[in-house]
Amino acid sequence: MRAYYSDHFVLPLPPGHRFPMAKYRMIREGVAQGVVSVEFHEAAAATDGVLALAHHPVYVDQVSRGVLPERVQKDIGFPWSLQMVERSRRSTGATIAACRSALEQGVAVNLAGGTHHAYADRGAGFCVFNDAAVAARLMQAERRVKRVAVVDLDVHQGNGTASILANDDSVFTLSLHGQNNYPFEKERSDLDVALPDGVTDDDYLEALEGALSQLMQRFVPELIIYLAGADPHEGDRLGRMKLTLAGLAARDRQVFALGRQHRIPIAVAMAGGYGKKIEDTVAVHVQTISIAAQYTSNIV
């Protein structure tokens, strides 16, 4: 299985910044040590033309030149730098590459990405470009697939993805998220499942099963982009859910089993994870990649 990385494009952050930048390098190291069948590839940068498949060209230009309105830059939560631009382009490029690879080999992963709070014309919540929306549109533009589903299991609603793809019947957006969590004003996905605070493994897995079966009744995708957020974990600072590491393994297996059963390739992006202990977050992500690797040869 191929894994695309961009963690060596480090985005400079002020001391004490709450974004866990180190997690991406730790994920790559954890996968290198623990998952045998993974090939690492550096991600290429997404170009302006590709980003414009899901973003307004004016926004892409403002990001590139560092002339975003102050409020938008503040909502993104990162100070502007050339490295921020390059990192965001590479992370989007990694989801694109993972989609192409998944279509050939069944499963592939982006060791970052899942930046689902980015809208067509503005970023927010540590998200600059919406990698899933860009990659879905590009796979269609390259005539590789017609129908894509974004299965977003990060704890936060995929509001940017829902907004960008709101009037696009060729991409199905599914978001399973915490009803009381950020973003407090939610968008409408094709299927939203809002869960209460403190949800545990059994209730979560039952909700996911129902959501995936509804997805398959309403829409048969040729490619799934899976945002495997680590923030539903019980040790997360922001997640407000109580899933165990074993519960999250069962979550991942449900998604990959669906892919295998229906022969749908799956590209995985990491999305969020803000563990009180960063090692817990990394363990959840590495576990997802390990489970993904087991499914590679079984899907297509």
Which residues are near Zn ion by CB under 5 A? 154-156, 229, 231, 272
What angle is formed at CA 10 by the lines to CA 7 and CA 11, rounded to 5 degrees? 130
Minimum CB separation from Zn ion for residue 21, in Å?
15
Minimum CB separation from Zn ion for residue 272, in Å?
3
CB 173 within 8 A of CB 157: no
The whole-angstrom separation of Cα 134 and Cα 25 is 24
**Nearest to Zn ion of 139, 153 (CB atom):** 153
Q: Which residue in the block uniquely carries the two structure tokens 């992500």?
A: 285
User: What is the number of other CB atoms lying within 10 angstroms of the CB of residue 120?
Assistant: 15
What angle is formed at CA 274 by the lines to CA 268 and CA 278, rounded to 5 degrees? 95
**Nearest to Zn ion of 229, 265 (CB atom):** 229
ω into 14 cis (within 30 of 0)? no
Minimum CB separation from Zn ion for residue 271, in Å?
6
**Nearest to Zn ion of 192, 231 (CB atom):** 231
Q: Is 117 a catalytic residue?
A: yes
The whole-angstrom separation of Cα 300 and Cα 291 is 16
**Nearest to Zn ion of 187, 231 (CB atom):** 231
How far is the CA of 189 from the CAs of 120, 123, 166, in angstroms? 15, 18, 7
Minimum CB separation from Zn ion for residue 269, in Å?
12
**Nearest to Zn ion of 156, 285 (CB atom):** 156
Minimum CB separation from Zn ion for residue 58, in Å?
27
Helix/strand/coil for 243: strand
Residue nearest to Zn ion (CB): 272
Check 117, 156, 177, 285 and give the catalytic one.
117
The whole-angstrom separation of Cα 181 and Cα 173 is 19
Sign, CA dihedral 68-157-27-261, equals: negative
**Nearest to Zn ion of 2, 116 (CB atom):** 116
Minimum CB separation from Zn ion for residue 155, in Å?
5
Phi, psi for 138 (deg, rounded to 5): -70, -40
The whole-angstrom separation of Cα 270 and Cα 28 is 12
Catalytic positions, written as ranges: 117
